[in-house]
């Protein structure tokens, strides 16, 4: 049976993906695995916002996004991050194609809470057929975390949340949420496995804080909706912390 693997990588990953990363991708492909990449781009967005004098404001770890902020976000993700990633994949002999919400209604979403977050969205529909079409051409889709609402409004989406939504709709076997640490750390040690109950305990006792919270919540959401294994790690060559039921 063909394995479906979704990998979320950070926006700066284009310069940090190692030869071992691409060897793993190629080995998976030899076994007929179907792979999707979802990329972030927070640093690029912040840098471009600063250059264009757009205020940077985060609420609960989510970037407040004005209409001007959406335009800047699209410029950063679709004009800088995604082309750099596609080129990196090409240089490593892995054919890839860049996709976004405007590609045949790939990601449809709705506004989370406009008063609180502005034009930040949650994905409620994924055009999985388009992804399958790319796989049939032996291409790796590289997807930006943006959605379009039913009335045509572009929305900024947290990249972990976007990867989770795509993994759920594809009924993926594996979801890798790549981060800058090799897993979820407790008392200096990496947890090999994390269950919903353990995650709740660690959050309640403030052992898990900051940006790791939305990552773990995304991971829990994915496993509860049928993704077999979710890995929180810094590389696809290491399982990191496996989130499981």
- Residues labelled catalytic: 8, 11, 42, 160, 215
Residue 158: how many CB atoms within 10 A of its CB?
Answer: 21
Is 41 annotated in a binding site? The answer is yes
Q: Closest Cα partner for 240 from 230, 35, 186, 172? A: 230
Is 42 annotated in a binding site? The answer is yes
Is 158 annotated in a binding site? The answer is no
Give, in order, the Cα–Cα distances in Å from 39 to each of 4, 76, 93, 136, 189: 17, 12, 19, 22, 27
The whole-angstrom separation of Cα 123 and Cα 157 is 8
Calculate the CA 233 to chain-centre distance: 13
Annotated binding site for substrate: 41-42, 63, 156
Binding-site residue set = 41-42, 63, 156
């Amino acid at each position: 049976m063909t394995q479906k693997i979704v990998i979320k990588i950070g926006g700066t990953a284009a310069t940090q993906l190692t030869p071992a990363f691409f060897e793993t991708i190629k080995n998976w492909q030899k076994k007929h695995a179907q792979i999707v990449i979802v990329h972030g781009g927070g640093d690029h967005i912040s840098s471009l916002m600063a250059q264009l004098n757009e205020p940077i404001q985060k609420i609960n770890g989510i970037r407040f996004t004005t209409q001007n902020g959406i335009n800047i976000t699209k410029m950063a993700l679709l004009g800088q991050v995604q082309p750099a990633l596609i080129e990196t994949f090409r240089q490593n002999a892995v054919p890839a194609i860049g996709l976004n919400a405007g590609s045949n209604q790939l990601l449809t979403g709705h506004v989370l809470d406009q008063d609180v977050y502005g034009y930040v969205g949650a994905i409620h529909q994924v055009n999985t057929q388009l992804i399958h079409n790319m796989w049939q051409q032996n291409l790796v889709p590289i997807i930006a975390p943006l959605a379009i609402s039913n009335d045509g409004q572009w929305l900024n989406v947290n990249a972990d949340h976007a990867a989770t939504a795509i993994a759920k709709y594809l009924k993926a076997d594996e979801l890798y949420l790549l981060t800058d640490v090799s897993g979820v750390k407790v008392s200096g040690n990496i947890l090999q496995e994390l269950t919903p109950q353990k995650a709740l305990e660690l959050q309640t006792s403030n052992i898990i804080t900051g940006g790791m919270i939305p990552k773990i919540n995304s991971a829990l959401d994915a496993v509860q909706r049928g993704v077999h294994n979710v890995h929180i790690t810094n590389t696809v060559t290491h399982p990191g912390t496996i989130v499981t039921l």
